Amino acid sequence: MKKLILSIAVLTGFALSLNAQNSQGKTDDMGRIALAAIVPEQATGIPQEARQMLVNKMSQIATQNGLGATAANPRFCIVPLVTVVSKEITPTAPPMQAVNLDVTFYIVDAASQNIFSQTNISVKGVGQTEDKAYIQALKNINVRAGQFKGFIEKGKEKIIEYYNSQCDVVLKGAQALAGQKKYEEALFVLLSVPDVCRECFDKSMDLSIEIYKQYANYKCTEYMAGAKAAWANMNADKAAEYLGKITPDMECYADAVRLTDEITQKMLADGANVWNFKMKQYDDSIEKDKMMIQAGKEIAVAWAYWGAAPYFNWDWSWLYQQK
């Protein structure tokens, strides 16, 4: 009897523990590539109100078939190209505008300017204004249409394929940028490699540490020069500002420490109060490589954000050629 009760208890417990587990499947590698829906400013001719409708439709297409991303980091995007095939204005009361649109969706890499996949759909819309006609036409896009599934899948496959086959080119390109002292851009290129392309991702992370070191040393020289110049002018505060930016991972850190000591001694000898400036210290427990990758990421994001302007300011002229 005891045995029976024990076995029932064990089995019930096992069944409960099974139920408590998350039954959701894991997203595969391809599913992890997030696509941002963007209607770039260069996509002219689309009325303002219709733009948002188009963004919503594209976001739905992305999320229906994997992951959607916000426009905050839109390297891989779905972008539309809307062509007016015909437009009619009826001489009725009130006049009605009928538009026949050809909407082409592209999955692109905004940085490398590659088109990975495309699909086309024709829609018609009628309204009292051009905006209303556009909105009605775009409303008719069925995001569940079979063609979009293939479109997204093909796009993601091509993205992975691109990084698997072009990894050397990407790495070389980053090195070349670093050689031109465009370290931020080089880090951005390396840190944009999606983690689903394992081999290339690992290689680019390794290279990003190297380039970050070059960047840090380059910056260190710059800060040291600034600090020395400030100290030459007896401007201790300005010198402190420069020295404060030098971190222990930079090559010239030792020189910076020496200069700090020199300034401190001089200030004390001149009868000043204790110059309580302290340089940055890192906790040794932090893994150095991880820290460098993180620092590199911050630099890359800052570059993309400030260096490239709103929407990341990709140049879309390659896709939207002006007439």
Q: Is 95 in the site for other proteins (CB under 8 A)?
A: yes
**Nearest approach, Cβ of residue 137 and other proteins (Å):** 8
The number of CA neighbours under 13 Å toward the Cβ of 172 is 4
Phi and psi angles of residue 191, each rounded to the nearest 5 degrees, phi first: -80, -5
Q: Is 4 in the site for other proteins (CB under 8 A)?
A: no
Q: Is 298 in the site for other proteins (CB under 8 A)?
A: no
Residue among 127 and 173 whose Cβ is closer to other proteins: 127
Contact 225, 219 (CB under 8 A): no
Residue at token pair 């979009």: 148
Interface residue with other proteins among 117, 136, 192, 260 (CB under 8 A) is 136
Residue among 62 and 141 whose Cβ is closer to other proteins: 141
**Nearest approach, Cβ of residue 323 and other proteins (Å):** 11
> Which among 181, 252, 267 has a CA at the least distance from the CA of 217?
252
Token readout for 318 is: 């390659």
Q: Is 91 in the site for other proteins (CB under 8 A)?
A: yes
Q: Is 32 in the site for other proteins (CB under 8 A)?
A: no
**Nearest approach, Cβ of residue 82 and other proteins (Å):** 14
CA-angle at 19, arms to 14 and 25, nearest 5°:
125
CA 120 to chain centre: 27
**Nearest approach, Cβ of residue 163 and other proteins (Å):** 42
Interface residue with other proteins among 127, 173, 244, 307 (CB under 8 A) is 127
Residue among 86 and 104 whose Cβ is closer to other proteins: 86
Contact 195, 32 (CB under 8 A): yes
Q: Is 60 in the site for other proteins (CB under 8 A)?
A: no
d(CA 54, CA 141): 9
Residue among 133 and 220 whose Cβ is closer to other proteins: 133
Q: Is 87 in the site for other proteins (CB under 8 A)?
A: yes
Q: Which stretch binds other proteins (CB under 8 A): 30-38, 87-95, 155-163, 307-315?
A: 87-95
3-state class (DSSP) for residue 122: strand
> Which among 266, 274, 227 has a CA at the least distance from the CA of 246?
227
**Nearest approach, Cβ of residue 129 and other proteins (Å):** 10
> Which residues between 254 and 293 bind other proteins (CB under 8 A)?
none
Q: Is 98 in the site for other proteins (CB under 8 A)?
A: yes
Contact 275, 236 (CB under 8 A): yes
Contact 193, 201 (CB under 8 A): yes
Binding-site ranges for other proteins (CB under 8 A):
84, 86-98, 124-127, 136-137
